[in-house]
Amino acid sequence: MSRKHAGILRQTFTHTRRFQEMVTILIRFGFTDYLTMMRLDRRFRFIRRLIARDGHSPPENTPREQLIRMALEELGPTFIKLGQLLSNRPDIIPPALLRELTRLQDSVPPVPFHQIADTISREFGRPCREVFAHLEAEPLASASIAQVHQARLPSGMQVAVKVQRPDIWDTMSIDLDILSALAHLVERYMPESRYFQPVELVREFSLRLQEEIDFRHECHNITRFHDMFPDTSRVRIPQVFTDYSTRRVLTMEYMPGHKLNAVLRGEAPRVDREAAARSITRLMLEQIFLHGFFHADPHPGNIMVGQDGRIGFLDFGLVGELRPRDTRYLTSVLVGTVHKDAAQLSEALLRITGAADRVLRENIEDDVYDIVERYVDLEMNEIQTDQLFNELIMVIINQGLTVPSSLLLFTKTLLLLDGLIRSLAPNLNPIQLFEPFVREYLVKRIGFDYLKRETLASGRDLAELARRWPRDTRELIELVKHGRLRMHFHVEGLEPVRATLDLVSYRLVFGLLLASVIISSAVVIHAGIPPLWHGIPVFGIFGFLGAGFVSIGYIGVLMVKFLRRLYRK
């Protein structure tokens, strides 16, 4: 590493206690090997001391994946969010670690109430008591970036106010600087890590984090969900009060009910858990396949059940968006999964990845058929959805293809939904719940409205083609008439033939030149052209000697090639 880069790293690390805290936590959870692989022990004396004292006895009887999750939780908000980002990447994270990352607990002790009131006052430019008629001091929830308090507007409306933690971005900026420096070290000293591009991953994470702490993005997402579900008889989306919302404060309608994490703890015995599981599944599938815009973090803390059984969604900071083309392909993935249809699954994966190479297509088809063959005789309740989808992701990765981000987020969301359903109603299998929706969705796809819409779209395309046809035909005729029409062909598979022809032509030219030298030398000797040596022309002698040496060398090369081929056989 250059001295300049090393200096930047040393300045980044040693100017903050935060780096020392991070190293201490990593060593305590048994990750000394990562520190030594990045050669940090050679750069910092305090790391060598810590390793010598505590670095040889990682916690016993605890899986390494669980230790990673526990370390991320103790490292704080930035690393919890990093773990949540990595949980969206089944293409680079092993399944066992992926399951642990989905269990990350984004719950931290609340900050003192006066700091929350100060934040509100700064955001609105007047005292907190003038903004809200009443603000509860005890928070409803406390997470890494913000905490939520119940409040009352001057109009009397009960609301939930999400307030960003004081100086949270300053803290996260320090962590991001350290992460960026560590990512460069990882890429340099751990070459196998370059597959998932640590530096680019940290850059992407930084951009996403900046977006998440700007509550205006979440406000926009909630508005879109309201437009998607105008019928509130099945689902509740909190209303946003934009006059009481800023970049760091988000004021929403207060929705009474039971969060699913409370239901899972048995604190809401009257909730029909099976009915809730069915409703949540239906609503999530509608978001993905009907609207192409979905809540991408459906864990128990972000979903609630009202007294009337309606499902309410909370925290819209992380959402997924699909283009119509992606939705069609992912529909085929789901249909192929439900029906255990290897042909449809293969075709869907091929379309998603855009694999055009014939060998790649055949390899993907073979791998998918092998996977489906293992599941075809199983009952629906015996199929592990998370394992099945991870295997499909690995099919793409093993062929050296890039997994599209749409498929990654779709897979992660379905896996979260799978775990949620199994926790709420263990007797239900997610794929069994997917099947009625798939059947209904396919009927709609071939229904009158769908056919009418597709026919109109095709009609517009045909009308545009008919409009442009005369002009395009006239331009083509003009090009032919003036001799300016050019056609380019590219024929595949000619490289081996071209290489063989080049080799033959080189040998032919070499043989002709050698023959010319021999004939010329013979003519010179026969004519007795001076200078002479013992009565023999010198040029003739040199010509024959040169031709002889070259011929012997060429024969030697041919013999070596022949023996190599013989040895290989």
pLDDT in tens, 99-156: 888 777 666 788 999 999 999 999 999 999 999 999 999 999 888 889 999 999 999 9
Domain boundaries, the chain: 3-105+171-208, 259-446, 454-488, 495-568
Give me the pLDDT at residue 239, please: 93
Query: Does this model's pTM top 0.85?
Result: no
Q: For the chain, which ranges sit under pLDDT 50?
A: 1-2, 4-5, 8, 14, 451
Give me the pLDDT at residue 135, please: 95
Q: Which of 175, 297, 315, 326 is catalytic?
A: 297
Give me the pLDDT at residue 491, please: 59
The residue type found at 215 is F
Task: Answer for the pair 161, 151: CB distance below 8 angstroms, yes or no.
Answer: yes
Tell me the residue ranges of DSSP E strands in 446-565. Answer: 532-533, 536-537
Distances (CA, A) of 519 to 237, 377, 460, 524: 96, 80, 77, 9
Question: What is the torsion angle, in degrees rounded to the nearest 10, for the CA atoms of residue 245, residue 247, residue 248 and residue 249?
Answer: 10
Q: Mean pLDDT over all residues of the chain?
A: 80
297 is catalytic: yes
- Candidates 419, 369, 413; CA nearest to 395 is 369
Give me the pLDDT at residue 220, please: 94
Q: Is 167 left (phi over 0), alpha (psi -120 to 50) or beta?
A: left
**What's the CA gap between 37 and 187, in Å, rounded?**
11
pLDDT in tens, 363-406: 888 888 888 888 766 666 667 777 777 788 888 878 777 777 77
Alpha-carbon dihedral sign for residues 472, 473, 475, 479: positive
- Locate 309 and state its tokens: 């059984």
What is the C-alpha R_g of the chain?
35
Give me the pLDDT at residue 310, please: 92
Give me the pLDDT at residue 4, please: 45
Give me the pLDDT at residue 221, please: 94
Give me the pLDDT at residue 9, please: 56
Q: What percent of the chain has pLDDT over 70?
A: 81
Task: Answer for the pair 69, 383: CB distance below 8 angstroms, yes or no.
Answer: no
Task: Answer for the pair 272, 348: CB distance below 8 angstroms, yes or no.
Answer: no
Please give the span between the terminal C-alpha atoms of the chain, in angstroms, as a whole number: 47
**What's the CA gap between 176 and 153, in Å, rounded?**
37
Give me the pLDDT at residue 531, please: 79
SS3 of 459-471: the string is HHHHHHHHHHHHH
Give me the pLDDT at residue 222, please: 94
Those residues whose C-beta lies under 8 Å from the C-beta of residue 341, and which sit 6 or more positions away, are 335, 372
